Amino acid sequence: MADIFSNATDFGLMEPSSEPDTVLPLYVVTTKSWQAWYQAAADHHQRWIDGQGFTPKPGRVITLPGQDGTLAGAVAIISDQPIWDAATIANALPVQTWQIDHHALGTSFDDSFLLGWALAHYRYTTYRDKPAPARASIMVPAESDSTRIMGLASGTYLGRDMINMPPNKMNPAGLEDTARALAKTHKAKITVIAGAKLASDFPAIDCVGRAAECPPRLIDMRWGKSGPKITLIGKGITFDSGGLDLKPSKAMEMMKKDMGGSAIALGLANALMHANVPIKLRVLVPTAENAVSERSMRPLDIIDTRAKLKVEIGNTDAEGRLVLADAITYALEDEPDLMIDFATLTGAARVALGTELPALFANDDNVARAIIDASNKAHDPLWQLPLFDDYDRHLDAGYAAMSSTGASGYGGAITAALFLRRFAGTDSNWAHIDVMAWNLSARPGRPKGGEVMSLRALFDYIDGLAHS
């Protein structure tokens, strides 16, 4: 799977052991410490800065000349949240190797600067004739936690690559290949359930994917021997046509991203394993393509689930919750300490919160608050929506069994989460994240295309659990 991991080898970060021919100083300064740095700067640097009309705002950078007029360094301005400032700075600097000089900060160096720098270097070029142009590199300070930074960067690159892959390549078989390559890299155990066993033991997953040319399957990966039992579940619908309730062409245009939940789960797993976080990790990915053929499920079909709950299909385009239902049931049989599912589940969540703010649901409000705190610290936003019990009645409005969608056209993100709760139960430590997994436009460090929203937040939360 060289295509999948091709972008995950160069983050623009150079380890201290590297010895480049030329290294230039990059003075990293906050807006508060700018004046002190400026007053201490050489006279010719002060004159140069004044002559350029430079304004010290976060994310801005100015190169500095030597006495002979050659490039001698640069000064960059950051805020209290340097991750995206760093991404802007990395894009603006000339292609050189830079050495951070952060003494003017007056505080310890924030590793999120290096992560922002690494994320700014991401480009998806697998199917382009020319590689991405060279970009500036930076030396990693010895005091930085390079293992954590590299883990988060590689997990993000992997997840973005997976979502950006064309759906004829990232089909259920391609997703399985990716998971197997990841398992091999980290010496994790992996099993894949497909065919007759999937149909008998995971009937909802089979029902969703049986119409497609590439058959459905359930990927089960395990890693780690000590620490809390953490299970990640990722929705792996590699393309969603809507089934017989066919999507209009515009709505179908980006449906290769409907496996974004699986990309987040596997990207997060990659980060956790790379950083050697002490947990017992399990990743479940129910993967299928929601296609149209003579084997497609129909509206008002009644299907079986692993939990023995009968489900009446309200809309064939609401297939993600069906594959998650079987995976959640399977996960609970192992009694995890924490179970989190990631899914591009509803347009309703996007209507409620927009495309850049994933919705978080959780059985335990204390857990939800802790995850939100982690998201704020990681600058990886999440917003809690309620598991509003009164809406649970809508799921019982099916003609002959529990409805997969409910009768109401309102509160769709909540209704979908409540459907999943029917399988997760109310006593499990379960969280559900309804995510866009796509940047509609480009910003520094966040290019247009696939995005692993919530990965950094959940890494920090799980890392905290493992070390508590």
Residues annotated as catalytic (active site), given as ranges: 247, 321
Contacts 24+ apart (CB under 8 A), 77-81: 77/29, 77/30, 77/31, 77/34, 78/28, 78/29, 78/30, 78/113, 79/30, 79/31, 80/30, 81/112, 81/379
- d(Cα 276, Cα 225) in Å, to the nearest integer? 11
Partners of 311 in beta bridges: 303, 402
The identity of residue 203, as a single letter, is P
* Token pair for 108: 């310890």
Distances (CA, A) of 203 to 11, 90, 178: 42, 49, 24
- d(Cα 127, Cα 130) in Å, to the nearest integer? 9
Cα atoms found within 13 Å of the Cα of residue 110, Cβ hemisphere only: 21
- Give the alpha-carbon dihedral of 59, 65, 66, 67, to 10 degrees: -140
Concatenate the DSSP letters of all residues of 224-287 into one string.
-SSS-EEEEEE-EEEEE--TTSPPPHHHHTTGGGGGHHHHHHHHHHHHHHHTT-SSEEEEEEEE
Q: Is the Cβ–Cβ distance between 452 and 160 less than 8 Å?
A: yes
The interaxial angle of helices 146-164 and 260-274, nearest 10 deg, is 160
Q: Is the Cβ–Cβ distance between 395 and 407 less than 8 Å?
A: no
